[in-house]
């Protein structure tokens, strides 16, 4: 008689400890985006937020952190390109921002150039040891502060100093592993639109990260509209359509990109 293909009842089914269901979702809190992502970013994912200049990368990242802090999740913004004081000043013009979130320690800003200075990273190109120290420092901050949401603005600036492709690959793999183990959901800003099918400085970045969200501009009847599209997001189904993204005082708003009365094919 042929052996039964079904598993005997006595053999336990092994469920991976990090299944998306167990890890849960990190609700971005950005109107419309959680629906696009079928319930939010799978917790612990590292997501590349790519877009050319002025497409809203920093604003989306800041709202992601503010919405998390409002839910009691510790949130940290690692700023490379803009001084924190200036970012906070801009953020203050949005109605959704509340200063108490910073006073209570739920929302923290850290200037990466200060980290470089403190760690004595004064060479233009970061060495293997520097990269190792940078990962351990970021991981240490996340662990010490209990950070559940983090933004690095921008990954591109850090990659300019890492320079070599194989080191960028190693940096991202190790950073991703460290942050995921700490259940920290991360947005890495990439200052690239989808030029030549690439979303990052070297093109390896998007292959390593768990998700890619693309911001861009499109023209409609003489206006330039901001648009958002989820290119990939591991561990969840998601819409691949293009959405119009509006920056309003109460936060970002997503709406289907209509063309001739129908959502435009992406």
Ligand X SMILES: Nc1ncnc2c1ncn2[C@@H]1O[C@H](COP(=O)(O)OP(=O)(O)OP(=O)(O)O)[C@@H](O)[C@H]1O
With binding defined as CB under 6 A, does residue 24 bind ligand X? no
Min dist CB 55 to ligand X, Å, is 4
User: With binding defined as CB under 5 A, does residue 58 bind Mg ion?
Assistant: yes
Determine if 186 is a binding residue for Mg ion (CB under 5 A).
no
Dist. CA 28–CA 65, nearest whole Å:
8
Of 185, 239, 161, 164, whose CA–CA distance to 49 is shortest? Answer: 185
Taking the C-alpha atoms of residue 147 and residue 170, their distance in angstroms, rounded to an integer, is 23
Residue 217 has phi, psi (to 5 degrees) of -120, 150
Structure-block tokens of residue 18: 């990090």
Ranges within 93-152 binding ligand X (CB under 6 A): 93-94
Q: Which residue is nearest to Mg ion (CB)?
A: 58
Tokens representing residue 151 in the block: 């933004």
Output the smallest distance, CB 143 to ligand X, in A.
28
| 156 contacts ligand X (rule: CB under 6 A) | no
| 58 lines the binding site for ligand X (CB under 6 A) | yes
Contact partner at residue 54 from Mg ion, ligand X, none, CB < 5 to 8 Å by partner kind: ligand X
Measured from the CB atom, the residue of 131 and 254 that comes closer to ligand X is 254
- Give the Cα separation of 138 and 180 in Å (integer): 13
* 3-state SS, residue 2: coil
Touching ligand X, residues 234-263 (CB under 6 A): 247
Structural element, H or E, at residue 161? helix 155-162
Nearer to ligand X, 4 or 93 (CB): 93
């Amino acid at each position: 008689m042929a052996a039964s293909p079904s598993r005997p009842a006595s053999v336990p089914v092994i469920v991976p400890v990090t299944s998306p269901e167990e890890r849960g979702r990190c609700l971005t809190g950005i109107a419309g985006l959680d629906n696009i992502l079928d319930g939010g970013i799978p917790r612990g994912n590292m997501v590349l937020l790519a877009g050319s200049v002025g497409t809203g990368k920093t604003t989306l990242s800041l709202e992601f952190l503010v919405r998390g802090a409002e839910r009691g999740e510790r949130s940290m913004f690692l700023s490379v390109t803009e001084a924190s004081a200036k970012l906070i000043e801009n953020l203050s013009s949005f109605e959704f921002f509340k200063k108490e979130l910073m006073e209570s320690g739920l929302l923290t800003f850290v200037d990466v150039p200060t980290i470089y200075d403190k760690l004595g990273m004064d060479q233009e190109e970061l060495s293997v040891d520097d990269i190792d120290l940078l990962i351990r420092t970021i991981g240490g901050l996340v662990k010490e502060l209990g950070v559940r949401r983090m933004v690095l603005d921008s990954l591109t600036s850090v990659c300019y100093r890492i320079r070599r492709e194989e080191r960028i690959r190693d940096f991202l793999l190790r950073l991703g592993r460290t942050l995921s183990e700490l259940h920290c959901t991360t947005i890495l800003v990439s200052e690239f639109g989808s030029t030549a099918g690439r979303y990052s400085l070297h093109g390896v970045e998007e292959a390593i990260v768990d998700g890619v969200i693309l911001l861009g501009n499109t023209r409609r009847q003489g206006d330039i509209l901001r648009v958002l599209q989820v290119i990939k997001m591991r561990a969840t189904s998601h819409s691949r359509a293009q959405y119009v993204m509006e920056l309003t005082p109460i936060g970002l708003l997503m709406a289907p990109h209509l063309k001739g009365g129908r959502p435009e094919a992406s």
